[in-house]
Chains A and B, each alone.
Chain A
Amino acid sequence: MVEITRSFEIEVDIIDDDHRRLVDSINEIIQALNNEQFELCAQLVPDFVDLSKQHFRREESLLAKYDYPQTDNHIKHHASLDDKMETMLALATKVADSPPAAEALRKELIFFMMDDIINEDMDFKSFMVNATAGKA
Chain B
Amino acid sequence: MDGLHMVGIEHAYGNTNVLNNVSLTVPAGELVCLLGPSGCGKTTLLRIAGGMEKLQAGTVTIDEEIVAEPGHQLPPEDRKIGYMFQDYALFPHLTIIDNVTFGLFRMDKAEAVKRAMEMLDLVGMAQHAAKHPHMLSGGQQQRIALARALAPKPRLVLLDEPFSGLDTNMRAKIREETLMILKHTNVATMMVTHDPEEAMFMADRIKVMGDNGKVLQSGRPADIYYKPVDEYVARLFGPMNHIDGIVHNGAIGSSFGDIKTDDAENGQAVRLLIRPEGVVLHDGKGTDGGTPVDVVSAHLLGDSSIVRCSLREGANKGAEFQVRIAGAFDAAAMGQVHAHVDPRHTFVYPHDKQ
- Check B43 for interface membership: any CB of A closer than 8 A: no
Which residues of chain B in 23-42 are interfacial with respect to chain A, using CB atoms and an 8 Å cutoff?
A: 23-25, 27, 30
Binding site for B on A (CB under 8 A): 2-3, 5-8, 80, 83-84, 87, 104, 107-108, 110-111, 114-116, 118-120, 122-123, 125-126
A56 to chain B, nearest CB (A): 17
Q: What secondary structure prevails in chain A residues at the interface with B? A: helix
- Check B219 for interface membership: any CB of A closer than 8 A: yes
30 contacts between A and B (CB under 8 A): A2-B1, A6-B64, A7-B5, A7-B7, A7-B59, A7-B64, A7-B66, A8-B1, A80-B229, A83-B227, A84-B219, A84-B223, A107-B204, A107-B205, A108-B220, A111-B25, A111-B27, A111-B204, A111-B205, A111-B218, A115-B25, A115-B205, A118-B25, A119-B23, A122-B8, A122-B23, A123-B21, A123-B23, A125-B8, A126-B8
B311 to chain A, nearest CB (A): 33
- Check B101 for interface membership: any CB of A closer than 8 A: no
B11 to chain A, nearest CB (A): 16
Contact call B220/A104, Cβ cutoff below 8 A: yes
Q: What secondary structure prevails in chain B residues at the interface with A? A: strand
What string of 1s and 0s marks CB contacts (under 8 Å) between B42-74 and chain A?
000000000000000001010010100000000
B227 contacts across to A, CB distance below 8 A: 83
Contact of A83 among B8, B59, B205, B223 (CB under 8 A): B223
A66 to chain B, nearest CB (A): 18
Contact call B24/A115, Cβ cutoff below 8 A: yes
Interface size on B, residues (CB 8 A): 22
Contact call A115/B30, Cβ cutoff below 8 A: no
Report the separation of the CA atoms of residues A116 and B32 in the bound assembly, to the nearest whole angstrom: 14
Q: Nearest 3 A-B pairs (CB), nearest first?
A: A119-B23, A114-B25, A7-B61
Q: Which has the most chain B C-beta neighbours within 10 Å: A119, A120, A126?
A: A119
Contact call A119/B204, Cβ cutoff below 8 A: no
Report the separation of the CA atoms of residues A111 and B5 in the bound assembly, to the nearest whole angstrom: 12
B229 contacts across to A, CB distance below 8 A: 80
Report the separation of the CA atoms of residues A30 and B23 in the bound assembly, to the nearest whole angstrom: 25
B277 to chain A, nearest CB (A): 21
A114 contacts across to B, CB distance below 8 A: 1, 5, 25, 27
Which residues of chain B in 1-24 are interfacial with respect to chain A, using CB atoms and an 8 Å cutoff?
A: 1, 5, 7-8, 21, 23-24
Report the separation of the CA atoms of residues A116 and B23 in the bound assembly, to the nearest whole angstrom: 10
A108 contacts across to B, CB distance below 8 A: 220
Report the separation of the CA atoms of residues A110 and B32 in the bound assembly, to the nearest whole angstrom: 13
Contact call A115/B220, Cβ cutoff below 8 A: no
Contact call B204/A122, Cβ cutoff below 8 A: no
Q: Which residue of A lies closest to B59 (CB)?
A: A7
Contact call B30/A107, Cβ cutoff below 8 A: yes
B223 contacts across to A, CB distance below 8 A: 83-84, 87
Report the separation of the CA atoms of residues A112 and B204 in the bound assembly, to the nearest whole angstrom: 12
A115 contacts across to B, CB distance below 8 A: 24-25, 205, 218
B204 contacts across to A, CB distance below 8 A: 107, 111
Contact of A119 among B7, B30, B61, B66 (CB under 8 A): B7
